[in-house]
């Protein structure tokens, strides 16, 4: 029994450990990729986050349907801007959350997403003759002469064209005002009856503004007025620097943890280190392939779950040492230690899991991100401590790496 | 073996002083709530050149609402340690979209080399902050009830009471310290408090598990010795776990402080470090002895009833 290291078993253990370390490297490498890796929240990756609330105005009630329609319209506006991976989602009963990573023109995006864009043609008697709801096309155009402002040409559907024909017939020689969100933008004089449903909107705008207006008119007016509750615009390099530093610092911290474990628990510490690398690759893999987003509060959850993963190994090793001190052999100490540690790890982890579930259900936004990451972390840590550390310890014992208490730093 | 049980009164007194100081400070000074709670606007602008405070003040002059704004200069470093461009953080009341845009434009005009990619502009309405606090407190209350149920089921009610008391003790102390230091807190702080919560639960339950195991075949009169034995058996684990967690946290603290200089992140890590200390302390000195006191109290009650 007290013979030297068994080469065959040792080789199996070594290959297993190297495989785990290699998979750890792979998991880290693919998770760290900013394009394909873990989806970063806007607080890390940068971008624009806007939370809007639908405001009830007379005759315009806010319900699920209006919010859904508003979301569809905002999405079509954002799509025209060509933003990659936008998030436009309802939050609570009357709110809409918009997350736009990698923006080219922030001002334009903000101008466009929240604008009601209610277009109205009003006759001289104050009656609305036709609205943007009957519009099929809107395009920004400009003339060769510099003196002429760019304008938006629009085209009505059949009902709209009919309404417009009637109005131009009735008010010939008079002015028809064009309002956008209750603001008068022009007031042309009707010179002839317009039967083809085409009109132009002139105003005091440059070509870019005309293009934005055309975009808004094409995507339709929002069924409800939206008010900004929260807006966060974070530059991409700002978050990137934070992430880089956090990754380096966490790396240094983890290296210290591994060093400490190896010095304190010797051979068992090496096994714990391998288990910890496995745990990290598991978490990174889960964060990478599950539909989750990593935010700064999420990183807090991650740190806590790393602490709990180390804790699980420490609990196990201290239990094994206890068993050794009470005179058991290494083999039975490993089994006894795991058995006794199991209940403590289970109860502590389940209690914390309960907290994460409650937080996930009740809270929203940043607290939710924390809960998700911690939940994933705890599941991975329990699995690693209970299954992998045990397997590694058994293998290490059989390979002759940890033969007696002295190999774990116990003086017998 | 260290005698924790006979000295528990000293620990109780120490904790009571900390808690009293914390509560008084919370009542008198409150917490220094950031815009995530109160609503408001923050600009962090990397100006891309050397600048004086006067230049910043001049840029802000046209904006009356920013008259009382708090202005802080930030200095960061890149990974080679070379200092990066200086910037400013301006904290003011809530401003509408067009006003914020006007501020940005003013700064862009005055500092043409301003790096927009390395800047941020955040604006939060007051409603949001109130909701954040309400949701977090509601979630914690429900989490506590659920935990009491689980611990009562797996252990017993007195264990649950002792664990939750230690937990609240930790949170009050961390909040108290932040109130005394008047460090500004924002969303990351909420995450830190939740982390302290989770860390404390984990730390305490493991000791409670030892006690549960050690009292199994003991008489009630020997419980004091059993609790003391449990704490001692668990001591190396408590120390090693908090040490290893501190390794990671201190590395992050150094990194954020030296390279980024962002107060929000530093506050976040400081809260976590504090939480690890308080969490470890309370699970050793408060939670387990408290369980013993509850046990004794119960014993007295039943004796009085039978007498």
- Could you tell me which of B115, B98, B87, B100 has the C-alpha nearest to residue B41? B100
Question: Residues B138-152: what's their mean pLDDT?
Answer: 92
User: How much is the CA Rg of chain A, to the nearest whole Å?
Assistant: 32
Look at residue A1 and tell me if it is in a domain.
Answer: no
Note whether A28 and A113 are same-domain residues.
no
Domains and CATH numbers, chain B: 8-34+127-306 (1.20.1640.10), 40-124 (3.30.70.120)
Report pLDDT for A263: 92
ipTM for this prediction: 0.88
A77 or A110, higher pLDDT:
A77
A3 or A93, higher pLDDT:
A93
B23 CB-contact burial (10 Å; exposed 0-12 / middle 13-18 / buried 19+): middle
A202-206, long-range: CB < 8 A, 24+ apart: A202/A149, A202/A151, A203/A149, A203/A151, A204/A149, A205/A149, A205/A150, A206/A149, A206/A150
Residue with tokens 């319209």: A73
Note whether A259 and A222 are same-domain residues.
no
Report pLDDT for A1: 47
- Could you tell me which of A363, A140, A187, A380 has the C-alpha nearest to residue A279? A380
User: B119 near B46, Cβ under 8 Å?
Assistant: yes
Note whether A381 and A242 are same-domain residues.
yes
Question: How close does chain A come to B78, measured CA to CA in Å?
Answer: 8
Note whether A214 and A227 are same-domain residues.
yes
Note whether A141 and A261 are same-domain residues.
no
C-alpha A178/C-alpha A121 separation (Å) is 5
Q: Single out the residue in A216, A233, A250 at which a domain terminates.
A: A233
Note whether A188 and A62 are same-domain residues.
yes
Look at residue A393 and tell me if it is in a domain.
Answer: yes
Residue B264 has pLDDT above 80, yes or no: no
Question: Residues B172-189: what's their mean pLDDT?
Answer: 92
Q: Single out the residue in A201, A233, A265 at which a domain terminates.
A: A233
User: A312 near A381, Cβ under 8 Å?
Assistant: yes
Question: Residues A96-118: what's their mean pLDDT?
Answer: 81
Report pLDDT for A369: 86
Question: Residues A209-224: what's their mean pLDDT?
Answer: 84
- Residues linked to residue A122 through DSSP beta bridges, in sequence order: A128, A177
Q: Strands A225-234 and A128-131, how do they pair?
A: unpaired
Look at residue A316 and tell me if it is in a domain.
Answer: yes
Average pLDDT of chain B is 90
Look at residue A278 and tell me if it is in a domain.
Answer: yes
The distance of Cα A359 from the centroid of its chain, to the nearest Å, equals: 17
Share of chain B above pLDDT 70, in %: 99
Q: Is A115 left (phi over 0), alpha (psi -120 to 50) or beta?
A: beta
Note whether A339 and A271 are same-domain residues.
yes
Note whether A173 and A96 are same-domain residues.
yes
B62 or B81, higher pLDDT:
B62
Residue B307 has pLDDT above 70, yes or no: no
Question: How close does chain A come to B273, measured CA to CA in Å?
Answer: 11
CB–CB contact A352 B146 (8 Å)? no
C-alpha A303/C-alpha A163 separation (Å) is 64
Look at residue A2 and tell me if it is in a domain.
Answer: no
Note whether A140 and A289 are same-domain residues.
no
Q: Which range is least confidently modeled, B110-124, B212-226, B251-265?
A: B251-265
Note whether A341 and A223 are same-domain residues.
no
CATH assignment of the domain containing A229: 3.30.1360.200
Claim: this prediction has a pTM higher than 0.90: no
Question: Residues A386-396: what's their mean pLDDT?
Answer: 92
Total structural domains within chain A: 2
Report pLDDT for A3: 55
User: A119 near A135, Cβ under 8 Å?
Assistant: yes
Q: By residue range, what is the domain housing residue A301?
A: 7-42+235-408
Look at residue A285 and tell me if it is in a domain.
Answer: yes
The pLDDT tens digits of the residues spanning A136-150 come to 888 888 877 767 788
Residues 34-53 of B with CB under 8 A from A: 44, 46
Chain A residue numbers touching B216 (CB-CB < 8 A): none
Question: Residues A296-306: what's their mean pLDDT?
Answer: 86
Note whether A175 and A297 are same-domain residues.
no
Distances (CA, A) of B159 to A35, A141, A251, B100, B292: 48, 75, 37, 53, 9
CB–CB contact B256 A245 (8 Å)? yes
Report pLDDT for B187: 85
CATH assignment of the domain containing A280: 1.20.1640.10
Question: How close does chain B come to A69, measured CA to CA in Å?
Answer: 24
Report pLDDT for A412: 56
A291 or B85, higher pLDDT:
A291
Report pLDDT for A239: 77
Sign of the torsion angle spanned by Cα atoms A233, A237, A238, A240: positive
Q: Single out the residue in A205, A233, A261 at which a domain terminates.
A: A233
The count of C-alpha atoms lying within 13 angstroms of the C-alpha of A154, restricted to the half-sphere facing its C-beta, is: 31
Question: Residues B194-202: what's their mean pLDDT?
Answer: 89
Average pLDDT of chain A is 87
- Could you tell me which of A306, A304, A243, A298 has the C-alpha nearest to residue A277? A306
Look at residue A118 and tell me if it is in a domain.
Answer: yes
A261 lies within 8 A of chain B by CB = yes
A344 lies within 8 A of chain B by CB = yes
User: B254 near B265, Cβ under 8 Å?
Assistant: no
User: How much is the CA Rg of chain B, to the nearest whole Å?
Assistant: 25
C-alpha A278/C-alpha A25 separation (Å) is 10
Note whether A74 and A189 are same-domain residues.
yes
Residue B290 has pLDDT above 90, yes or no: yes
């Amino acid at each position: 029994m007290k013979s030297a290291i068994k080469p065959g078993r040792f080789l199996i253990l070594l290959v297993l450990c190297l495989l785990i370390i290699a998979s750890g490297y792979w998991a880290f490498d693919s998770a760290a990729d900013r394009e394909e890796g873990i989806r970063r929240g806007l607080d890390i990756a940068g971008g624009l986050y806007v939370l809007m609330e639908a405001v009830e105005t007379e005759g315009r009630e806010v319900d699920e349907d209006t919010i859904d329609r508003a979301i569809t319209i905002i999405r079509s506006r954002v799509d025209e801007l060509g933003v990659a991976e936008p998030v436009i989602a309802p939050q609570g009963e009357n709110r809409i959350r918009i997350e736009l990573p990698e923006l080219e023109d922030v001002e334009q995006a903000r101008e466009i997403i929240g604008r009601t864009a209610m277009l109205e043609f009003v006759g001289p008697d104050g009656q609305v003759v036709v609205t943007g709801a009957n519009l099929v096309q809107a395009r920004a155009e400009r003339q060769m002469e510099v003196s002429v402002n760019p304008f938006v040409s629009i085209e009505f559907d059949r009902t709209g064209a009919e309404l417009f024909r009637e109005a131009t017939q009735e008010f010939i020689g008079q002015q028809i005002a064009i309002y956008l969100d209750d603001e008068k933008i022009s007031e042309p004089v009707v010179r002839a009856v317009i039967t083809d449903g085409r009109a132009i909107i002139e105003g005091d705008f440059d070509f870019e503004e005309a293009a934005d207006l055309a975009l808004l008119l094409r995507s339709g007016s929002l069924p409800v007025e939206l008010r900004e509750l929260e807006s966060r615009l974070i530059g991409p390099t700002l978050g990137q620097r934070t992430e880089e530093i956090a990754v380096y610092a966490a790396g240094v911290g983890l290296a210290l943890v591994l060093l400490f474990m190896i010095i304190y628990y010797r051979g068992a510490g090496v096994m714990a280190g391998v288990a910890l690398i496995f745990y990290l690759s598991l978490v990174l893999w889960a964060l990478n392939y599950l539909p989750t987003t990593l935010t700064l509060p999420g990183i807090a959850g991650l740190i806590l779950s790393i602490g709990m993963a180390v804790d699980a190994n420490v609990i196990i090793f201290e239990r094994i040492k206890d068993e050794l001190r009470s005179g058991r052999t290494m083999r039975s100490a490993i089994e006894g230690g795991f058995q006794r540690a199991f209940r403590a790890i289970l109860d502590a982890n389940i209690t914390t899991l309960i907290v994460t579930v409650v937080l996930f259900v009740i809270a929203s936004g940043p607290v939710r991100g924390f809960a998700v990451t911690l939940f994933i972390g705890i599941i991975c840590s329990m699995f690693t401590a209970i299954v992998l550390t045990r397997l590694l310890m058994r293998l290490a014992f059989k390979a002759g790496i940890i033969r007696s208490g002295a190999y774990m730093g116990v003086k017998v | 073996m260290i005698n924790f049980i006979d000295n528990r009164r000293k620990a109780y007194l120490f904790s009571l002083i900390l808690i009293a100081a914390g509560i008084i400070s919370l009542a008198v000074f409150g917490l220094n709530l950031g815009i995530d709670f109160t609503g408001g606007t923050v600009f962090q602008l990397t100006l891309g050149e050397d600048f004086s405070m006067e230049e910043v003040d001049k840029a802000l002059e046209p904006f009356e609402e920013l008259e009382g704004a708090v202005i802080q200069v930030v200095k960061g470093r890149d990974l080679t340690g070379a200092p990066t461009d200086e910037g400013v953080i301006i904290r003011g009341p809530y401003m509408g979209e067009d006003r914020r845009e006007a501020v940005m434009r003013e700064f862009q005009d005055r500092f043409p080399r301003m790096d927009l990619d390395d800047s941020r502009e955040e604006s939060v309405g007051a409603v949001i902050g109130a909701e954040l606090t309400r949701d977090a407190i509601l979630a914690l209350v429900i989490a506590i009830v659920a935990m009491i149920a689980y611990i009562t089921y797996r252990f017993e009610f007195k264990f649950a009471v002792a664990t939750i008391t230690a937990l609240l003790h930790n949170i009050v102390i961390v909040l108290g310290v932040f109130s005394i230091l008047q460090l500004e807190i924002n969303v990351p702080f909420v995450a830190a408090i939740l982390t302290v919560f989770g860390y404390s639960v984990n730390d305490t339950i493991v000791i409670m598990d030892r006690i549960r195991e050690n009292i199994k075949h003991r008489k009630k009169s020997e419980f004091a010795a059993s609790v003391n034995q449990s704490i001692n058996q668990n001591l190396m684990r408590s120390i090693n776990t908090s040490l290893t967690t501190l390794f990671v946290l201190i590395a992050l603290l150094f990194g954020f402080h030296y390279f980024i200089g962002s107060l929000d992140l530093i506050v976040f890590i400081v809260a976590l470090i504090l939480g690890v200390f308080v969490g470890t302390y309370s699970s050793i000195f408060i939670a387990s002895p408290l369980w013993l006191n509850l046990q004794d109290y119960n014993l007295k009650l039943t004796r009085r009833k039978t007498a």
